[in-house]
């Protein structure tokens, strides 16, 4: 398919847009339905209050002698859960926790003002909270691939009606990738075995003592992704403690519903910070995330509202995901992310996207609403990214009233994202359509390589062009070689799109 070239503007008024009669494309009916679904599902808790101090917690961190409050906090949560639910209160003070915090149904964890929970990851055996059949590993997802691995720092699986509220903060050590090797005793009847095809001595997984071919070695995230593409069984993806171990999310839920996170801060997370997975009805409101890597990554979730959040992250601030490659395809049991509302957020910094979709989006993403947000300095404002092993279906994305101080690109849609480890790069191209953007502006486009960048960049595949993108009332200022770059795309509609105050044209 040929590149679109030198088209001054196509008036959006010539196109009939969806959305309950709204000419901007904003689907207010869907928006209200998502809002009602989430807000009506927020948990209410019994009038029962349990203090962690009653379970022996001591707030002496940081200090010369620091008490480990792992048992105190988790025992308080367990007692509250077993008693029918209520609130577990963390009073003012600094509390060291050498291990994960495990959330339970019908329990709210409430951090009072000036309450700090410092989660230390060094005592690795504490993160083996799963059952004996999986050597303590928990069923989790790493970058879109299912695995058995060590627990996230704050974790819930199969729970409902859970909350974290208050004015305190969770603090991590900021190490995501470096703490990857430690040893534990092997369970009886098991041994460490290496794949004969691997030259990496540290590429080890648990394998039961049988005459079967040993489990494939997992030496890094690329090897793990390959197992996901091969639809490998879960026993092939159970991590030994002596080889490479995926970094842990700060907060993760698996198969949970009715989740509230409000008021607190998450500081210095080393990997993805908030990562709800296959979970529904989630409200994240008025929190601060200041950490490494991604801020909030809803993964195969339905019904999510992110409202009034302040982000300071070194990767994507928000990245909506739905699993990676073949094992996350709908026909293989994958699940889309749908029904997302992002509003009133402040993206103070972001090395990549303010609001991103992908790149792990093989289950599909649809019905995403972004409104009334601002960013100080990010690389890309709206970033939709996928690759040709993803098989993604991304549609019905609505953005309005988004102002950015400084960025490299206002909007980017790409279908060639890195992450394919198969010679056949175009096996499962993504299909992206029906993107509506209204009133999105940046003061300054700033880049070191102005010739190669454009403030609106849309690049599809010849076999799967990007379709039906409507941009109305958008502007940027800066010295760019090519303000707009659009390739392998159909029905791209621009109205009142300006660059340095002048109408922006599609260049050859």
Peptide bond just before 62 cis, omega within 30 deg: yes
Q: What pLDDT, on a 0 to 100 scale, did the predictor assign at position 131?
A: 82
Whether residue 221 is predicted with pLDDT greater than 50 in this model: the reply is yes
Whether 351 and 315 have beta carbons less than 8 Å apart is answered as yes
Q: What pLDDT, on a 0 to 100 scale, did the predictor assign at position 478?
A: 83
- Which residue from 159, 170, 166 is spatially nearest to 43, judged by alpha carbons? 159
Query: How confident is residue 20, by pLDDT bands cut at 50, 70 and 90?
Result: low
pLDDT tens figures, 149-169: 889 999 999 999 999 999 999
Q: What pLDDT, on a 0 to 100 scale, did the predictor assign at position 9?
A: 31
Whether residue 421 is predicted with pLDDT greater than 50 in this model: the reply is no
Whether residue 22 is predicted with pLDDT greater than 50 in this model: the reply is yes
- Which residue from 392, 449, 380 is spatially nearest to 416, judged by alpha carbons? 392
Question: Comparing 123-127, 300-304, 364-368, 427-431, which segment has the lowest mean pLDDT?
Answer: 123-127
Whether residue 89 is predicted with pLDDT greater than 50 in this model: the reply is yes
pLDDT tens figures, 257-271: 999 999 999 999 989
H/E segment holding residue 82? helix 70-82
Q: Which residues contact 56 (CB under 8 A, 6 or more apart)?
A: 69, 71, 72
**DSSP code for 68:** B
Q: What pLDDT, on a 0 to 100 scale, did the predictor assign at position 226?
A: 80
Question: Comparing 108-122, 152-166, 450-464, which segment has the lowest mean pLDDT?
Answer: 450-464
Question: CA torsion angle for 281, 282, 285, 287 (degrees, to 10)?
Answer: 170
Question: Comparing 5-9, 77-81, 218-222, which segment has the lowest mean pLDDT?
Answer: 5-9
**How large is the average pLDDT for residues 207-219?**
39
Name the percent of the chain lying above pLDDT 90: 65
Q: What pLDDT, on a 0 to 100 scale, did the predictor assign at position 24?
A: 66
Peptide bond just before 359 cis, omega within 30 deg: yes
Please report the DSSP string for 356-396 in residue order: EE-SSBTT-EEEEEEEEEEEEEEEEEEEEE--TTT--EEEE
Q: What pLDDT, on a 0 to 100 scale, did the predictor assign at position 125?
A: 81
Q: What pLDDT, on a 0 to 100 scale, did the predictor assign at position 218?
A: 59
**Integer CA distances (angstroms), 33 to 37, 38, 261, 365, in order:** 6, 9, 21, 17
Question: Comparing 36-50, 339-353, 452-466, which segment has the lowest mean pLDDT?
Answer: 452-466
Query: How confident is residue 242, by pLDDT bands cut at 50, 70 and 90?
Result: low
Superfamily for the 1-42+282-508 domain: Single-stranded right-handed beta-helix, Pectin lyase-like (2.160.20.10)
Whether residue 193 is predicted with pLDDT greater than 90 in this model: the reply is no
Query: How confident is residue 448, by pLDDT bands cut at 50, 70 and 90?
Result: low
CA distance 337 to 134: 28
Whether residue 324 is predicted with pLDDT greater than 80 in this model: the reply is yes
Q: What is the mean pLDDT of the chain?
A: 84
**How large is the average pLDDT for residues 420-428?**
59
Whether residue 311 is predicted with pLDDT greater than 50 in this model: the reply is yes
pLDDT greater at residue 227 or residue 38:
38
Q: What pLDDT, on a 0 to 100 scale, did the predictor assign at position 184?
A: 27
Chain Cα centroid distance, residue 345: 16
- 290's tokens: 């200041």
Whether 57 and 72 have beta carbons less than 8 Å apart is answered as yes
- Provide the β-strand partners of residue 408: none
Whether 378 and 317 have beta carbons less than 8 Å apart is answered as yes
pLDDT greater at residue 507 or residue 198:
507
Query: How confident is residue 219, by pLDDT bands cut at 50, 70 and 90?
Result: low
Whether residue 234 is predicted with pLDDT greater than 90 in this model: the reply is no
**How large is the average pLDDT for residues 415-432?**
71
pLDDT tens figures, 286-295: 999 999 899 9
Which of helix, strand or coil describes residue 229? Answer: helix
Whether residue 32 is predicted with pLDDT greater than 50 in this model: the reply is yes
Which of helix, strand or coil describes residue 446? Answer: coil
CA distance 209 to 207: 6
pLDDT tens figures, 376-408: 999 999 999 999 889 999 999 999 999 999 999
């Amino acid at each position: 398919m040929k590149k679109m070239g030198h088209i001054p503007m196509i008036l959006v008024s010539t196109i009939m847009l969806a959305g309950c009669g709204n000419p901007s494309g904003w689907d207010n009916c869907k928006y209200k339905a998502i809002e009602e679904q989430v807000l009506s599902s927020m948990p209410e808790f019994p009038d029962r209050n349990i203090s962690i101090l009653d379970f022996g917690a001591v707030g002496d961190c940081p200090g010369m002698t620091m008490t480990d409050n792992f048992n105190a906090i988790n025992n308080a949560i367990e007692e509250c859960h077993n008693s029918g639910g209520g609130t577990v209160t963390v009073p003012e003070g600094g509390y060291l926790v050498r291990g994960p915090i495990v959330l339970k149904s019908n329990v709210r964890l409430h951090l009072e003002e000036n309450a700090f929970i410092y989660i230390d990851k060094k005592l690795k055996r504490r993160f083996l909270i799963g059952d004996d059949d999986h050597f303590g590993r928990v069923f989790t997802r790493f970058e879109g691939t299912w695995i058995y691995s060590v627990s996230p720092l704050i974790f819930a699986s199969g729970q409902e009606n859970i909350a974290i509220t208050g004015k305190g903060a969770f603090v991590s050590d900021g190490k995501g990738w470096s703490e990857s090797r430690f040893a534990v005793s092997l369970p009886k009847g098991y041994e460490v075995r290496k794949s004969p095809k691997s030259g990496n001595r540290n590429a080890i997984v648990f394998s039961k003592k049988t005459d079967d071919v040993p489990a494939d070695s997992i030496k890094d995230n690329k090897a793990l992704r390959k197992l996901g593409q091969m639809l490998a069984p879960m026993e092939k993806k159970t991590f030994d403690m002596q080889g490479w171990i995926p970094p842990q999310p700060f907060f993760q839920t698996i198969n949970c519903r009715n989740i509230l996170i409000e008021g607190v801060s998450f500081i210095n997370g080393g990997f993805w910070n908030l990562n709800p997975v296959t979970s529904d009805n989630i409200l994240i409101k008025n929190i601060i995330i200041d950490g490494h890597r991604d801020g909030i990554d809803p993964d195969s979730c339905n019904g999510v509202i992110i409202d009034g959040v302040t982000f300071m992250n070194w990767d994507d601030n928000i990245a909506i995901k739905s699993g990676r490659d073949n094992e996350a395809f709908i026909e293989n049991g994958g699940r889309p992310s749908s029904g997302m509302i992002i509003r009133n957020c402040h993206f103070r910094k972001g090395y990549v996207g303010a609001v991103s979709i992908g790149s792990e989006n093989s289950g599909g993403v649809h019905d995403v609403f972004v409104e009334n947000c601002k960013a100080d300095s990010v690389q890309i404002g709206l970033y939709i990214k996928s690759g040709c092993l993803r098989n993604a279906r991304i549609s019905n994305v609505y953005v309005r009233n988004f102002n950015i101080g400084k960025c490299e690109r206002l909007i980017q849609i790409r279908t060639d994202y890195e992450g394919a480890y198969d010679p056949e790069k175009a096996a499962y191209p993504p299909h992206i359509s029906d993107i509506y953007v209204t009133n999105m502006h940046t003061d300054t486009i700033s880049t070191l390589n102005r010739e190669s960048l454009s403030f609106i960049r849309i690049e599809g595949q010849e076999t799967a062009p990007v379709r039906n993108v409507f941009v109305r009332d958008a502007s940027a200022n800066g010295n760019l070689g090519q303000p707009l770059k659009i390739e392998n795309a159909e029905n791209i509609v621009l109205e009142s799109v300006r660059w340095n105050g002048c109408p922006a044209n599609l260049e050859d």
